[in-house]
């Protein structure tokens, strides 16, 4: 097939199909993005009063409930929910006599899980995750490949690095859920390519790059820091370039300013300032701080300045600790620090750009009260900077000839990919804090863990690994499709069946097909179909040897 001759097409199809195969629905975070879309379509209003009992990620302002998320993803979900509603001829009912709700007790309220939300909401969750996350994740990897090839002029190393980042980093993990991280990342990478990598640029390109920066904030508030860093580094390119980019940025941010003005009568107020204190007293309710542990003493919804010792501790946790440490989850990223040496010699401007972005995001994340990211996999607030590690990694692979370093890189890359694979085997973990006992409780795969600090927890090997050994990499779509069910991708859904009866053969008995790990065959089929030329070349080379 001629269309498979392009590396960009092969990278895209591989990532898109594999990401889509493993989509799942964590809970509050995604609900808080989908419910405003449902409310706008079904009721013509942005407030979610009728849906507030279904998510804890909400704010309370002016007597009404709203999503606490940046509104961009919800806006994009409007046509997706409308299409789902049309295709299923179903109207989602958030309440009703026949509804079955599972209660989740919170501090001063109760959040409910709708046990059977119906086909419209189920289909919207599937299409929304595939179109906004899996598709964006695949495009992000193609952009990484394009950027690396433009910088190094080495197709082979750029291909290896981009695929490694596609399946050995959290880009894989967050391309399977409907959170804002991957969609924002794709906008920022596209803007980076236009503003910094593309060789021939017109004023329209600078305006487009600025629009993408503005839209990234509409999707995720935290990308505002990234956008300002982009603009700051553009000063080196002259006043005209910064003016055109700033113009584009202002155009891109207009929808967010309008949204804020409609709800808060102030375009510059963010929704996170009005979190519902009934849900998280240690984070948002000052009067309850005395009942919270030291780790929560200074936590607020905003960034705050801690003492240097505390910042150093949280920074160390973000980088190296087993509880969501960046280098613990993806240890091959260590070699980016060696690659920085080669990057500095050849592109010192890009070296400073990547270093500054890394340090600022790391410090800002350490200042953020909820630095661990709630119910998530790994340090998700650092996901935005992960693709930029691909640049020094590529320079390391191109210029470092040390056999020991190359061997260690291969080993740590395999470990990283295994860690990421573990993340799609079980429900994403989250700790719960009990103020009266000042104890953390984690409900993990095969046990309940109690601890006085989350620093003692190792979810990769104590939660995800046992789940992986029992279930393999879980594909909710595959598990439910093989038994003829309309998929429900929510994490609360158990594996519907662990074996499928094939036939009975006397005197041997019943032959069954085991469902756990069966999805790996689908993975191999996808890889072989898309990369068959490379696979055959590799097999021929082994035969000759």
pLDDT digit string, tens, across residues 462-513: 999 999 998 889 999 998 888 887 888 888 778 888 887 777 766 766 767 7
Strand 439-443: give its sheet, edge to edge: 431-434, 439-443, 448-451
List for the chain the helix, strand, coil content (%; round to 5): 65, 10, 30
Distance CA 120, CA 38 (A): 10
Contacts of 182 (CB under 8 A, 6+ apart): 133, 136, 137, 140, 171, 174, 175, 383
Contacts of 229 (CB under 8 A, 6+ apart): 353, 356, 357, 360
Give the pLDDT confidence score for residue 280 in this predicted structure.
61
Give the pLDDT confidence score for residue 540 in this predicted structure.
65
Closest among 422, 431, 319, 437 to 370, alpha carbons compared: 431
Give the pLDDT confidence score for residue 273 in this predicted structure.
78
Assign residue 238 a region (left: φ > 0; alpha: ψ between -120 and 50; beta: otherwise).
left
- The structure's pTM equals 0.92
Distance CA 21, CA 14 (A): 11
Map out the domains of the chain as residue ranges: 28-126, 431-544
Q: What is the pLDDT along the chain (545 residues), one digit of tens a residue?
A: 666 789 999 999 999 999 999 999 998 899 999 999 999 999 999 999 999 999 988 998 889 999 999 999 999 999 999 999 999 988 888 887 778 888 887 767 888 888 888 899 999 999 999 999 999 999 999 999 999 999 999 999 999 999 999 999 999 999 999 999 999 999 999 999 999 898 888 889 999 999 999 999 999 998 988 888 888 887 776 677 889 999 999 999 999 999 999 999 999 888 877 888 777 655 544 444 444 545 444 444 444 555 566 778 888 889 999 999 999 999 999 999 999 999 999 998 899 999 999 998 898 888 876 778 878 899 999 999 999 999 999 999 999 989 999 999 999 999 999 999 999 988 888 777 665 556 677 778 878 888 777 777 899 999 999 999 988 899 999 988 888 878 888 887 788 888 877 777 667 667 677 788 888 888 999 989 888 887 777 666 555 54
Kindly report whether the peptide bond that precedes residue 12 is cis, defined as omega within 30 degrees of 0.
no
């Amino acid at each position: 097939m001629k269309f498979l001759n392009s590396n960009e097409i092969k990278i895209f199809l591989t990532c898109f199909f594999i990401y889509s195969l493993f989509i799942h629905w964590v809970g509050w975070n995604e609900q808080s993005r989908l419910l405003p879309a449902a409310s706008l379509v079904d009721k013509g209003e942005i407030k979610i009063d009728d849906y507030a009992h279904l998510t804890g990620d909400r704010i309370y302002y002016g007597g009404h409930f709203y999503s606490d998320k940046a509104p961009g993803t919800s806006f994009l979900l409007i046509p997706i929910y409308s299409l789902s509603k049309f295709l299923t001829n179903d109207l989602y009912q958030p309440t009703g006599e026949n509804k079955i709700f599972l209660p989740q007790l919170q501090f001063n309220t109760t959040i409910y899980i709708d046990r059977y939300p119906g086909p419209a909401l189920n289909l919207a969750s599937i299409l929304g995750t595939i179109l906004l996350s899996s598709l964006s994740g695949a495009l992000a990897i193609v952009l990484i490949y394009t950027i690396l090839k433009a910088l190094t002029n080495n197709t082979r190393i750029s291909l290896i690095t981009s695929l490694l980042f596609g399946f050995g980093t959290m880009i894989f993990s967050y391309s399977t859920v409907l959170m804002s991280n991957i969609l924002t990342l794709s906008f920022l990478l596209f803007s980076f390519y236009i503003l910094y990598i593309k060789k021939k640029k017109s004023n329209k390109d600078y305006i487009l790059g600025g629009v993408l920066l503005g839209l990234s904030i509409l999707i995720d508030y935290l990308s505002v820091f990234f956008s300002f860093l982009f603009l700051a580094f553009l000063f080196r390119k002259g006043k005209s370039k910064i003016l055109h980019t700033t113009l584009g940025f202002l155009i891109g941010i207009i929808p967010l300013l309008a949204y804020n003005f409609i709800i808060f009568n102030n375009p510059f107020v963010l929704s996170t300032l009005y979190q519902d204190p009934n849900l998280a007293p240690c984070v948002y309710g000052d009067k309850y701080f005395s009942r919270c542990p030291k780790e929560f003493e200074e936590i607020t919804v905003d960034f705050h300045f801690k003492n240097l010792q505390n910042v150093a501790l949280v920074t160390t946790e973000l980088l190296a600790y087993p509880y969501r440490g960046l280098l613990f989850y993806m240890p091959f990223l260590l070699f980016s620090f060696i690659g920085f040496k080669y990057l500095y010699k050849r592109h010192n401007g890009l070296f400073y750009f990547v270093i500054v972005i890394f340090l600022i995001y790391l410090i800002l994340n350490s200042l953020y009260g909820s630095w661990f990211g709630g119910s998530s996999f790994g340090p998700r607030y650092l996901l935005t900077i992960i693709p930029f590690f691909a640049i020094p990694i590529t320079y390391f692979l191109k210029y470092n000839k040390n056999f020991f370093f190359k061997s260690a890189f291969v080993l740590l890359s395999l470990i990283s990919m295994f860690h990421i694979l573990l993340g799609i085997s079980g429900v994403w973990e989250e700790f719960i804090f009990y103020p009266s006992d000042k104890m953390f409780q984690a409900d993990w795969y095969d046990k309940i863990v109690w601890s006085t600090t989350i620093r003692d927890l190792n979810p990769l090997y104590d939660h995800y690994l046992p789940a992986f050994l029992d279930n393999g990499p879980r594909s909710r779509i595959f598990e439910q499709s093989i038994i003829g069910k309309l998929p429900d991708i929510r994490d609360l859904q158990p594996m519907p069946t662990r074996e499928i009866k094939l036939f009975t053969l006397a005197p041997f008995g019943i032959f069954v097909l085991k469902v756990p790990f069966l999805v790996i065959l689908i993975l191999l089929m996808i890889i072989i179909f898309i990369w068959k030329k490379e696979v055959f070349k590799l097999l021929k080379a082994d035969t000759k040897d």
